[in-house]
Amino acid sequence: MKIFNTLTRTKEEFVPLEPGKIKMYVCGPTVYNLIHIGNARPMIVFDTFRRYMAHRGYEVDFVSNFTDVDDKIIKKANEEGVDSAEISERYIKECKKDMEGMNVMPATVHPKATEEIDGMVDLIGDLIEKGYAYATEDGTVYFRTRKDQEYGKLSHKNIDDLEAGHGRDLKVKGGEDKEDYLDFVLWKPKKEGEPFWHSPWCDGRPGWHTECCVMAKKYLGATIDIHAGGEDLIFPHHENEIAQSEAANGVPFAHYWMHNGFLNIDNVKMSKSLGNFFTVRDISEKYDLQVLRFFMLTAQYRSPLNFSADLMEAAKTSLERIRTAVSNLDYLRKQTDKDNLTEEEKQLSKEAAGFVTKFDEAMDDDLNTADAISAIFELVKFANTNSNESSSSEFLKELKDEIVMLSDILGLTVKQEEELLDSDIEALIEERQAARKAKNFARADEIRNELAEKGIILEDTRQGVKWKRAD
């Protein structure tokens, strides 16, 4: 598997820290509103990455935070006259609903910044002790950026250019007592009406970059395999995460940095501040969110992707085409009376496997979902052309299973909750008998329950097991 690593700006072979395992951290949303479909892009693409790596046999530890302390949350809370915790809790709940709709799996852990403040205070204390940070008179703590010899290595910015060019942008309000204007805030004093926590420097709250360092280390370790997020996070957020983590821990923070490109509208980044956005909820009123997911995956994750009504319609039609192919294969299976593969079908089945290989190759090339989707369509076309009422049940099942498996890896559900075929029921009953003989009663019960859920009732008789469909 090759991954484009922002750190080296090259596609590198992925080698995990520990064989068979992946420790991955993805910066999550700031929860002050419903998420927009730009925020949904990293969720969908990195969930797809996670699913693909799990399919390849990796155990993926996937951590993604909720930023629940932030100026925008406080502003919204003040506007509504409620506590900021009420705002963040509300939008975390809504975000999880959207994630479910888009078939984004819950992370292994979803830490919240407000529940990790102690860890952040410890990290800041450690940085002060090591000479990487300092507190000013009002209790603000800054990171001593220039002390980090490698600062800029992720964003490929030269510290002297920062000083000459963008330096002034980095100057924070009230930061007049900084030693150097490149220094960034780790802890800031409370203001009237804001949530705050105690610290040795003052009552206040942490800066944004510190939270991800603490959560990544706590849940995954000082060095992780992959850190990911949207490309707008490269600078300053991820650069500042690296600076703090590596200064405190003395080891590399993440081996691979993955960044998704922007979701644009009329070729401008979709964002709350520009007001040019659709929320995931808006889209869900018109479309099944699987269509949104499909649309997001039609581009390789690093390419910019332009959102339009036409492209959403095209995504809907395409997804429908896959679903139709799957239900046709099911229909044909019910019609046929042939069980096993013919010689000709054995040949065709090898050809079909070629599309699966093509899919894997595309995914192995830095998660090229655009080409992976093309491979699914080639397989769909192949299935449509080569299947009919006289195909064998085994062949039809093979084709269907392949289409469903590849779609599942992309998190796309293309299978109808279908009725079990008689032959499937009989195979399960046989398996249940064998399990009982082997005294594997757990498996036997599981099969009985599975059949019961599908409305199949079993009856043990003297002539053997009989079954019927519930009315």
Per CB under 5 A, residues contacting Zn ion are 27, 212
Q: In whole angstroms, what is the distance from residue 184 CA to residue 181 CA?
A: 8
**HSE toward the beta carbon, residue 233, CA cutoff 13 A:** 22
Our CB check for Zn ion shows the closer of 208 and 294 to be: 208
**Phi, psi (degrees; rounded to nearest 5) at 322:** -65, -45
**Min separation Cβ 259 and ligand AMP, Å:** 8
Name the β-bridge partners of 227. 25, 257
Our CB check for Zn ion shows the closer of 46 and 395 to be: 46
Our CB check for ligand AMP shows the closer of 206 and 229 to be: 229
Q: Which two tokens stand for residue 128?
A: 């002060």
The interface region with ligand AMP, picked from 27-35, 52-60, 409-417, 435-443 by CB under 6 A, is: 27-35
The interface region with ligand AMP, picked from 6-14, 25-33, 144-152, 241-249 by CB under 6 A, is: 25-33
Question: How many residues in the shown chain lie near ligand AMP by CB under 6 A?
Answer: 17
> Which parts of 372-411 interact with ligand AMP (CB under 6 A)?
none
Q: Exposed/middle/buried for 459, CB within 10 Å: 0-12, 13-18, 19+?
A: exposed
Our CB check for ligand AMP shows the closer of 16 and 38 to be: 38
Q: Does 263 bind ligand AMP (CB under 6 A)?
A: yes
What residue is closest to ligand AMP based on CB?
230
Which partner, Zn ion, ligand AMP, none, binds residue 212 by CB below 5 to 8 Å per kind? Answer: Zn ion
Q: Are 272 and 214 in contact (CB under 8 A)?
A: no
**Min separation Cβ 205 and Zn ion, Å:** 16
The amino acid at residue 312 is: M
The amino acid at residue 186 is: L
Q: Does 300 bind ligand AMP (CB under 6 A)?
A: no
Q: In whole angstroms, what is the distance from residue 387 CA to residue 345 CA?
A: 10
Candidates 50, 110, 188, 269: give the one binding ligand AMP (CB under 6 A).
269
Candidates 3, 4, 41, 116: give the one binding ligand AMP (CB under 6 A).
41
Q: Are 265 and 309 in contact (CB under 8 A)?
A: no
Edge-to-edge order in the sheet of strand 21-26? 59-64, 21-26, 224-230, 254-260
**Min separation Cβ 220 and ligand AMP, Å:** 18
Our CB check for Zn ion shows the closer of 64 and 369 to be: 64
Our CB check for Zn ion shows the closer of 152 and 207 to be: 207
For residue 218, which of 63, 408, 27 has the smallest C-alpha distance?
Answer: 63
Sign of CA dihedral 178, 184, 189, 193: positive
Antiparallel, parallel or unpaired: β 268-269 and 263-265: antiparallel
Which partner, ligand AMP, Zn ion, none, binds residue 94 by CB below 5 to 8 Å per kind? Answer: none
Q: Does 124 bind ligand AMP (CB under 6 A)?
A: no
Candidates 14, 262, 382, 395: give the one binding ligand AMP (CB under 6 A).
262
Q: Which region holds residue 219: left if phi is over 0, alpha if psi is between -120 and 50, else beta?
A: alpha
Candidates 38, 101, 119, 236: give the one binding ligand AMP (CB under 6 A).
38
Longest dimension (CA), the chain: 90
C-alpha distances (whole Å) from 70 to each of 92, 113, 180, 194 are 14, 10, 24, 10
Q: Does 76 bind ligand AMP (CB under 6 A)?
A: no
Q: Are 284 and 296 in contact (CB under 8 A)?
A: no
The amino acid at residue 63 is: V
The interface region with ligand AMP, picked from 84-92, 109-117, 258-266, 291-299 by CB under 6 A, is: 258-266
Q: Does 270 bind ligand AMP (CB under 6 A)?
A: yes
Give the binding site for ligand AMP (CB under 6 A).
27, 29-30, 38-39, 41-42, 229-230, 232-233, 260, 262-263, 269-271
